[in-house]
């Protein structure tokens, strides 16, 4: 792998990103097809560059320069692809809908959603944990499952989703920018959230779910319905058996619920309101917290943090930006931030799985185990009776104009050495995962 690193490092960022797109595409094609691609069909895998500008494809006659000028002005005349198969009138709940996109459009959107999400999420260290939560909150409600309804006002305005409201416009921007890279074919919000959450995991040190079966095919919630009931989400205020039962009822095993909840809390922060009741009301008596499962010295640290207005505390103060197993070991020390986090250790049913991932062996299997559960949870309740296919296969003219404006003002910079280094790292990890 070191020789590969030396060959990749000098490449300009746009080429590195195109290689990443190619590798992501490889994850969903067979060995024979991959061999064919490597021997001469590479250009057919790349529809658009990361700015949303068209690239020349085999058999496409327009000059690249002309297409770039048209796209930059929001005047691209490229026709919307013809939807070849009618939407399935009775999709199977819990399974991806193969009629949602043309196969080549699904491939393009999977790559473009990944690349655009990478561009958007790397702008702020709070975005990866936020988008991981967004996917969880979309999928883990009783009713519709992963259907994009978390962005509907009725769900988004729930107190449980208060911290996710700021991600709404970013999600819509990812959706429209990704569409612009694929002849304006519209990805569903559910698929957009699913891939953005995968990128959140990758930016936090995990492998991509694309190498573990993450694909597109989730319909969005019926636009005429209000969405799901956000109060059915597992809550830090739920008694532990209730929170655990909510996840099991949706299809996770006890081990998967432990892994996904505790592991997911290895990144991100919580407002003090979610755990203040565990602390002493008087900071001078912080070492005697009401919650005896909370380590006294840690309780004093939290009391000091929460003395500040609107303060937030890291779920995992050891490695707050990495999806890893440090948080499992913190639970062994009584340093779970939320009552429900600590309960995964104190409860006899879930304790063996906390001990598993606190061990060296568990820490080695954690990255792939976690992503496998992430990919599994992305199919909870999908394409059920409250979902609908999109009204139009491609973005409308107004949406295309908005997408062009958003793309031109995005944070992407082809001269960014930090981004180039990040892309190179992702290329190497994807190579390892796919091959």
Tokens of 170: 């970013």
- Dihedrals phi, psi of 166, to nearest 5 degrees: -65, -15
Q: Is 341 annotated as a binding residue?
A: no
Closest alpha carbon to 199 in 144, 99, 123, 250:
123
- Listing DSSP states for 171-222 in one string gives HHHHHHHHHHTTTTBPPPHHHHHHHHHHHHHHHTTPPPGGGGT-----PEEP
Q: How far apart (Å, rounded) are the C-alpha atoms in residues 134 and 332?
A: 28
Q: Is 265 annotated as a binding residue?
A: yes
Please, are residues 136 and 264 in contact by the beta-carbon 8 Å criterion? Answer: yes
Asked about 9 being catalytic, the answer comes back as no
Q: Is 147 annotated as a binding residue?
A: yes
Q: Is 125 annotated as a binding residue?
A: no
Residue 394, sorted as left (phi over 0), alpha (psi -120 to 50) or beta, turns out to be beta
Determine which helix (DSSP H) or strand (DSSP E) holds 321, and give its type and residue range: none
| From 51, 137, 152, 215, active-site residue | 137
Tokens of 226: 């209000």
How many residues are recorded in the chain?
Answer: 435
Residue 338, sorted as left (phi over 0), alpha (psi -120 to 50) or beta, turns out to be beta
Task: Give Cβ neighbours of residue 15 (< 8 Å, ≥ 6 apart).
Answer: none
Q: Is 319 annotated as a binding residue?
A: yes
Q: Is 316 annotated as a binding residue?
A: yes
- Listing DSSP states for 333-394 in one string gives TT--SSHHHHHHHHSTTTHHHHHHHHSHHHHHHHHHHHHHHHHHHTTTTTT-TTEE--S-SB
Q: How far apart (Å, rounded) are the C-alpha atoms in residues 246 and 265?
A: 18
Closest alpha carbon to 222 in 161, 147, 153, 168:
147
DSSP state of 413: -
Place of tokens 């993450």: 214
Tokens of 81: 């692809």
Q: Over the range 333-351, which residues count as b (16 or more CB within 10 Å of their CB) and which as e?
A: ebbbbbbbbbbbbebeebb
CA trace torsion 357, 204, 238, 335 (10° rounding)? 60
Please, are residues 341 and 351 in contact by the beta-carbon 8 Å criterion? Answer: no
Q: How far apart (Å, rounded) are the C-alpha atoms in residues 17 and 151?
A: 29
How many other C-beta atoms are found inside a 10 Å radius of the C-beta of residue 272? 19
Binding residue positions for heme b:
265
> Which parts are annotated binding residues for Ca(2+)?
138, 145, 147, 149, 155, 316, 319, 324
Please state the residue numbers annotated as binding site for substrate: 234
Catalytic residues: 137
User: Binding site: what residues are annotated?
Assistant: 138, 145, 147, 149, 155, 234, 265, 316, 319, 324
């Amino acid at each position: 792998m070191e020789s590969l690193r030396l060959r990749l490092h000098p490449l300009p960022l746009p080429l590195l990103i195109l290689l990443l797109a190619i590798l992501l595409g490889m994850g969903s094609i067979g060995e024979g097809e991959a061999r064919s691609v490597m021997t001469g069909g590479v250009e057919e895998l790349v529809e658009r560059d990361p700015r949303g500008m068209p690239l020349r494809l085999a058999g496409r006659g327009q000059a690249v320069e002309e297409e770039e000028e048209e796209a930059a002005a929001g005047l691209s005349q490229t026709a919307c692809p013809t939807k070849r198969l009618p939407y399935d009138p009775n999709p199977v709940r819990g399974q991806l809908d193969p009629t949602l996109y043309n196969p080549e459009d699904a491939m393009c959107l999977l790559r473009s959603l990944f690349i655009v999400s990478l561009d958007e999420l790397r702008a702020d260290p709070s975005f990866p944990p936020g988008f991981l939560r967004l996917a969880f909150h979309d999928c883990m409600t009783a009713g519709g499952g992963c259907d994009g309804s978390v962005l509907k006002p009725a769900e988004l305005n729930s107190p449980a989703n208060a911290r996710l409201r700021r991600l709404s416009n970013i999600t819509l921007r990812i959706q429209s920018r990704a569409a612009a890279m694929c002849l304006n074919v519209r990805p569903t919000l559910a698929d957009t959230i699913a891939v953005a959450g995968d990128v959140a995991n990758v930016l936090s040190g995990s492998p991509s779910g694309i190498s573990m079966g993450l694909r597109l095919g989730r319909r969005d919630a019926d636009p005429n319905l209000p969405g799901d009931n956000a109060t059915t989400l597992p809550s830090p205020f739920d008694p532990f058996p209730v929170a655990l039962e909510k996840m099991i009822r949706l299809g996770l095993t006890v081990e998967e619920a432990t892994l996904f909840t505790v592991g997911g809390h290895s990144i991100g922060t919580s407002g003090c309101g979610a755990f203040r009741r565990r602390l002493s009301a008087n900071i001078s008596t912080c070492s005697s917290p009401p919650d005896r499962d909370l380590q006294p010295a840690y309780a004093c640290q939290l009391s000091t943090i929460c003395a500040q207005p609107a303060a937030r505390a890291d779920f995992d103060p050891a490695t707050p930006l990495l999806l890893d197993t440090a948080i499992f070991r913190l639970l062994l020390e009584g340093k779970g931030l939320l009552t429900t986090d600590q309960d995964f250790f104190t409860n006899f049913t879930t304790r063996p799985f906390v001990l598993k991932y606190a061990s060296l062996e568990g820490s080695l299997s954690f990255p792939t185990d976690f992503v496998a559960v992430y990919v599994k949870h992305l199919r909870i309740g999908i394409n059920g009776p409250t979902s609908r296919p999109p009204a139009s296969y491609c973005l409308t003219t107004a949406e295309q104009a908005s997408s062009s404006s958003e793309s031109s003002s995005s944070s992407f910079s082809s001269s960014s050495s930090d981004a180039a280094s990040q892309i190179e790292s992702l290329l190497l990890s994807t190579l390892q995962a796919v091959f």
